[in-house]
Amino acid sequence: MGRLGRLRRLLARRRPKLVSLRTTFVVSFAAVTAAVTILVGILSYSSAARLVRVDQQSVFSQVVQDVRDEVRQHEMVPEDFSSSRPGHDLVRPARTDVQVLGAQGQIVDHGNPVLPVTSHDKAMALAQTAGKVVQHKDVLVDSDLFRVATVSLGDGRGAVQVAQEFSDTEDLLRTLQQRTLILMAAVVVAAGLFGWWLARRITRRLVILTSAAEDVARTRQLGIEVPVAGLDEVGRLGRAFDRMLGRLAQSEEDQRRLVQDAGHELRTPLTSLRTNISLLRRIDELPPATREELVADLSQEARELTDLVNELVDLAAGQSDTEPPQRVDLADIAEEVVGLAKRRTGRQIVLHTSGDTTTDGRPGMLQRAMSNLVENAAKFDREGRGPIEINVTGPARPGTVRVEVLDRGPGIAEGDLIRIFDRFYRAADARSLPGSGLGLSIVREVAMAHGGAPFAFRREGGGVVIGFTVGGGIVKSGAV
């Protein structure tokens, strides 16, 4: 027991924890939203940063090109670019610094801030060709980054330095990046909250349905109401579950009633059998006539008990779906029933058919129902004042066939017509006749299983008409 207990505890620890559908939905929704938001944020920031950098580079390149064109077209000296000279020729865009170098590379007009002068810049000041350019990237001036281009004036007259600050642009892009990240985080959090609210709204009815199923499993009470509404899949599931519980409850009730009724009906023949068996102990003391009567009584009770058990089995199996449905002709089935009934009863049986008598059904069940009707007619019309008639007519509507069995027996009282299809019900004037009261109940079950219904009414001139209709499709039913 110690090893078994340790094994159970080990398995319990290894058992995976259940994750609710709501949690899965929230996590999935948040993950998808986060992935989409991050992707869009990265693409948006990259596009915006690229556009800003390209624009700044384009502005700087255009200023440098304007200076080159100017110095190539005109002989210009450093004083022409002085910021203090009224009407100077160079337009200074925003975040653009201009510094003028003399013939020896010295600063004639410093920029704001002052730009560093390298040997390459001094070489441009001494250059003989106007418009030559040397560029410097990532020049650090007073903790700010600049890009610098030095343009020669030609003939050793000096040079002009044009610088553009781009550290401010990078600061702006970093700010944009931070705000993009904050916005992305806010969107993910909002998506998670919205996903939680949506999942709670969607799964609330599933939780109710699960609770109902757990209550059924715990209490075994099938009459629990499932309060699920809606026109979506969850609503359909709830209604289907409610119908399933109703069918199971009805099936359970039918089984309980069948067992109770069967027990009640079996008591009488079993009691009689026990009584007669007790007499068998004294059979030597009984006169011959009494012995014959006792044996005949035992034989009759054994037959009745066998018939009752067989009909109970047929009634319980009649609701099963093991027999596959197929296209059948009820006229052909009626012919087989007529031939079998003639051999069993020796009665004259007449079959009338008209119209299309084909439908979808289970031939074994239909044959059993017809046989029960014919046997019932032969049993109650014992004098045989007229032939037993079978009418198979179709269709009253597409796929519907009507089966009637007519006899000239004593008939049925009006008060009994509505109850003759109940299980074990037998009219007062029929209780002395052999039978269990299950034959017509089987007819009702077969008819309802085939989308039809049984019927019975008194026949003019004496006798009764009992039958059933089939059609409307095979009805899947549970156990009896």
Q: What is the three-class DSSP state of 149?
A: strand
Q: What number of other Cβ atoms are within 10 A of residue 259's Cβ?
A: 11
Q: What is the pLDDT of residue 331?
A: 92
Alpha carbon 395 to chain centroid, angstroms: 39
- pLDDT tens, N- to C-terminus, the chain (480 residues): 455 455 455 444 544 454 566 677 777 777 887 788 788 878 877 887 777 777 777 777 888 888 888 888 888 888 877 766 554 545 555 567 888 888 888 888 888 888 888 888 888 888 888 888 888 887 887 777 788 889 888 888 889 888 887 766 666 777 878 888 888 888 888 877 887 887 777 777 777 777 777 777 777 776 666 666 667 677 777 777 777 877 777 777 777 776 766 665 566 667 777 777 777 777 777 788 877 877 777 777 777 677 667 666 665 665 445 668 888 999 999 999 888 888 777 788 899 999 888 888 888 888 888 888 888 888 777 676 778 899 999 886 777 899 999 988 777 777 677 777 776 555 545 444 444 566 788 888 888 888 888 998 888 878 889 899 998 666 554 433
E-state strands within 413-463: 454-458
Looking at the domain that runs over 22-172, which CATH code has it been given? 3.30.450
Task: Give the pair of three-digit tokens for residue 243.
Answer: 């119908």
Q: Which fold has domain 222-319?
A: Helix Hairpins (1.10.287)
How confident is the model at residue 391, as a pLDDT? 93
- CA separation (Å) from 55 to 49, 51, 169? 10, 6, 11
CB 34 within 8 A of CB 42: no
Q: Number of H helices and number of E strands within the chain?
A: 10, 12
pLDDT value for 479 = 36
Q: Which of 316, 257, 366 is nearest to 478 (CA)?
A: 316
Q: Are 71 and 151 in contact (CB under 8 A)?
A: yes
Burial of 444 (0-12, 13-18, 19+ CB in 10 A): buried
Q: What angle do CA 363, 447, 408 make, to 5 degrees?
A: 95
> What residues contact residue 329 under an 8 Å CB cut-off, 6+ apart?
357, 358
What does the block give as tokens for 259?
């067992």
| In the chain, domain spans | 22-172, 222-319, 320-470
Task: Check if the beta carbon of residue 364 is closer than 8 Å to that of residue 384.
Answer: no
- Side chain identity, residue 134: V
Q: Assess whether the region 22-172 and the region 320-470 belong to the same CATH fold.
A: no
* pLDDT in the model for residue 7: 45
Q: Is the dihedral of CA 315, 327, 373, 395 positive or negative?
A: positive
Q: Cα(189)–Cα(320) distance, rounded to whole angstroms?
A: 55
Q: Strands 96-101 and 159-165, how do they pair? A: antiparallel
Q: Model-level pTM?
A: 0.44
- 3 state SS of 157: coil
Give the integer Cα–Cα distance in Å for 322 and 96.
92
If you ran DSSP here, which 8-state letter would residue 245 be given? H
**Pairing status of strand 107-109 against strand 464-470:** unpaired
Give the full edge-to-edge strand order of the sheet including 464-470.
349-354, 388-393, 401-407, 464-470, 454-458
Measured torsion, CA atoms of residues 411, 417, 423, 428, in degrees rounded to the nearest 10: -50
Three-class SS of residue 355? coil
CA 442 to CA 439: how far, in whole Å?
A: 5
Domain spanning 320-470: which CATH class is it, in words? alpha beta
Residue closest to 67 by CA, chosen among 144, 140, 1, 162: 162
> Crossing angle of helices 363-380/439-449, nearest 10°?
150
pLDDT of residue 4: 46
Contact 108, 102 (CB under 8 A): yes
Check residue 335 and give its pLDDT.
92
Per-residue buried b or exposed e for 162-190, using 16+ beta carbons within 10 Å of the residue's own CB: bbbbbeebeeebeeeeeebeeebeebbee
Reported in sequence order, the residue ranges of 70-110 that DSSP labels E, i.e. its strands, are 96-101, 107-109
CA distance 244 to 259: 22
State the Cα–Cα distance between residues 163 and 100, nearest whole angstrom: 11
pLDDT of residue 258: 67
Q: Please state, in angstroms and rounded to a whole number, the distance separating the CA atoms of residues 338 and 456.
A: 20
Sequence-separated (6 or more) residues with CB below 8 Å from residue 155: 75, 128, 130
314 HSE (CA, 13 A, CB side): 26
